Amino acid sequence: MDILKILSRGTKKTNTASTSATATGDLPSSGAKVNPQLYNDSVRGQKRKRQANQTDDKVEDELPEVNFFPAPDATSAREQESAKKPQRAASPPRKPTKRLPEDECRQIFRSHRLKLTILSKDQELKKPKKSSKKKQKKAVAEEDTKNDSKAQLFPQPLESFADLRNTYGISRRVAENLIAQGYRVPTEVQLGCLPLLLRPELALPDTDGLDNGINFLAVAPTGSGKTVSFLIPAINKIMRRRALEKSEGSRELEAIIVAPTRELSHQIVNEGLKLLQGTGIKIVGMKKTTNISVEQQEIAEDSSDEGSDDEDEESADEGKPKRTQKVRPATQTDILVTTPRLLINFLTSGPSGTQRVLPGVRDLILDEADVLLDPLFREHTLSIWTACTNTDLRVSLWSATMGSNIETMINEKLEGRAEALGLPVKPLLRLVVGLKDTAVPNIIHKLVYTASEQGKLLALRQLLHPSRADDSGPPLRPPFLVFTQTIDRATALHEELKYDIPLEAGGPSRIAALHSGLAESARAAIMRKFRAGDIWVLITTDVLARGVDFAGVNGVVNYDVPGSSAVYVHRAGRTGRAGRQGGIAVTFYTKEDIPFVKTVANVIAVSEKQAGKTGDEATVQKWLLDALPNVGKADRKKLRERGVESRRSGSKAKITSKSGYERRKENNRRGAIEGSKRRKQAEADGSGDEDGDEWGGIDD
């Protein structure tokens, strides 16, 4: 069997389905969806299939108007919503608490494909005996899949945002700020976790063992509104404590949000600012120069190790009186958003022989938690966790992907910490939305075999010039992201493609490269321009693979294959945010990549199955899965850690073409003056260098 022939056949196969799906004109860049939910199987047992929007078949070839990142349109969302339901006032008076019977909670959880289980080893939580217990037990047993027999819990769901105030008592101001965002319907993760995090005793009233609070792990799709899900409970906790203690004036750092990149941290700060308007609560992004209020403790000589040695470290300190001294507080804030290294640099910069701890922190939020607990960041993340010494600490962890090894590590850390502090372990509850580790069901996937590196350039140019596209499916309209394996390749591809956009359309300024090799100010400037729609094609590395929310990104190109299935899920998840339709994820692969493609194909196959795409509609057909070689464990590990070896250095690592050089010359001839003016501008924009780089992680 000639695998290359088979694979080439595969690249042509996908088009009918994809064309009809994108011909909708309903692209991510065309605005927000009224209902951002991904799953709502209204009748139990009904075939779960998302309805692709009905459309005509016309595909426009021209570049779209520049309106790439429309703000959520509060007015039109409200109008459409009010057509269906009676309209709610902006700040309704609080109504009495309502409770749904457990059967209804179960029904809602099931129809939204939500699964809440207790992950702690010794499952302490007990449900009270009820007359219908037998029946319930039987139903649960029937529904449980073979490989996940853990008992499920069905807490009160958040049916509407109004319940946040009515039932769970969040502040009027925060409720109004949320409405001002134009959100109308809670997403699945919000529906499943907000009651539980705001008032566990109300959300799960018949469950024992929640009195001391819970720890929480959410595995929910990319773009499903996890940020709001962790911000609102954190804000609410601070406000309630302040109100109870009547400590209006004093500010104490109470919540820390850790995210792997500074782009994501900035984004979280911005989301926080929107929710916090007029509340008096402060959120701040950590900078190198930020000084926060901490306690300084003397440490024993041998306790510098972190991670699995945490218990030993704590016991080494045991018995020694801890002398503490206050460090002068500089930045007064309630919530701090930081990358692991920025905070660790601060925590370890006290006088030698001391460690800085954060006794006031009651909420530790790890966004993109699986990567924060991956070897790259693990040590720093665990050190931050250890530094949060408050006995009331609640840890919550969020991601679209979560390996079982990470879950085990979380449990071990929770147990170790509780033991060291002499506390009972708070139960760890896990909410999974849909299937773990899958890409969102509302995007179109394409696997494109390009044979060689040169083939990738050609294929990308075809995407860039949709009018020239042959039968290779729907055009990928700007704005889109292009992911490469290394910083060098991102830079080289940028050089190569700089002149591909005609001067009349903005020329080289429409394309940029962003990676951790750039200074912070340059990165921030590129992010701003991409969000503003000034940059149409952003070439990047995995530094932008996680968390960043460009609502109107129409597509993602994996110029180089992703290093793992999780990376695929996250890269692809930069499009199709908040339920938007029509986003495309294209993955190029060459002969060298064939040993690794099955990982990606598997993710696509599962996502398509979830979306109800079968037969010819599916990108990944069974024959393709059968034809692709399996990826061995060792190869998977190598790919995850190092990427495709031949792309790291040597001639294969280079991205260049003679035609590119020729076209550059041609371009210069045509628009010498304007071209050089724009080039200078682009170079000036990318050349700030006042700051070093605190994070060079995922990039390579």
Site for ligand ADP in 511-550 (CB under 6 A): 549
DSSP letter for 331, please. Answer: B
Nearer to ligand ADP by C-beta: 346 or 530?
Answer: 530
Closest CA to 423 of 396, 397, 394, 398: 394
Q: Counting contacts by CB under 6 A, is residue 225 touching ligand ADP?
A: yes
Q: Counting contacts by CB under 6 A, is residue 242 touching ligand ADP?
A: no
Are 678 and 507 a contacting pair, CB within 8 Å? yes
Site string for ligand ADP, 416-435 (x = CB under 6 A): --------------------
Q: Counting contacts by CB under 5 A, is residue 686 touching Mg ion?
A: no
Here the tokens at position 113 are 């494909």
Q: Counting contacts by CB under 6 A, is residue 261 touching ligand ADP?
A: no
Amino acid at 502: P
Per CB under 6 A, which region of 5-13, 178-186, 209-217, 422-430 contacts ligand ADP? 178-186
Report the nearest approach of ligand ADP to the CB of residue 81 (Å): 11
3-class secondary-structure state, position 645:
helix
Nearer to ligand ADP by C-beta: 549 or 700?
Answer: 549
Q: Counting contacts by CB under 5 A, is residue 233 touching Mg ion?
A: no
What sign does the dihedral 638-639-641-646 (CA atoms) show? positive
> Alpha-carbon distance 570 to 586, whole Å?
13
Report the nearest approach of Mg ion to the CB of residue 35 (Å): 20
Nearer to ligand ADP by C-beta: 224 or 296?
Answer: 224
Tell me whether residue 180 is exposed, middle or buried, using C-beta atoms within 10 angstroms of its C-beta: 0 to 12, 13 to 18, 19 or more.
middle
3-state DSSP helix/strand/coil % of the chain, to nearest 5: 45, 10, 45
Contact residues for 137 (Cβ-Cβ < 8 A; gap 6+): none
Residues in the interface with ligand ADP (CB under 6 A) total 18
Out of Mg ion, ligand ADP, none, what residue 333 binds, judged by CB under 5 to 8 A for its kind, is none
Q: How many helices (H) and strands (E) does the chain have?
A: 25, 18
Q: Counting contacts by CB under 6 A, is residue 580 touching ligand ADP?
A: no
Nearer to Mg ion by C-beta: 221 or 547?
Answer: 547
Tell me whether residue 145 is exposed, middle or buried, using C-beta atoms within 10 angstroms of its C-beta: 0 to 12, 13 to 18, 19 or more.
exposed
Nearer to Mg ion by C-beta: 22 or 261?
Answer: 261
Contacts 24+ apart (CB under 8 A), 501-507: 501/464, 501/536, 501/537, 503/667, 503/670, 503/671, 503/674, 503/675, 503/678, 505/63, 506/534, 506/536, 506/678, 507/671, 507/674, 507/675, 507/678
Site string for ligand ADP, 26-65 (x = CB under 6 A): ----------x-----------------------------
Q: Which of 547, 573, 579, 675 binds Mg ion (CB under 5 A)?
A: 547
Nearer to ligand ADP by C-beta: 546 or 647?
Answer: 546
What residue number has its CB nearest to ligand ADP? 225
Out of ligand ADP, Mg ion, none, what residue 29 binds, judged by CB under 5 to 8 A for its kind, is none
* 583-590/555-558 β-pairing: parallel
Q: Counting contacts by CB under 5 A, is residue 226 touching Mg ion?
A: yes
Per CB under 5 A, which region of 182-190, 199-207, 224-232, 459-467 contacts Mg ion? 224-232
Q: What are the residues facing 551 on neighbouring strands? A: none
Q: Which residues of this protein are in contact with ligand ADP, per CB under 6 A?
A: 36, 183, 185-187, 190, 220, 222-228, 549, 551, 577-578
Note the residues at the interface with Mg ion (CB under 5 A).
Answer: 226, 547
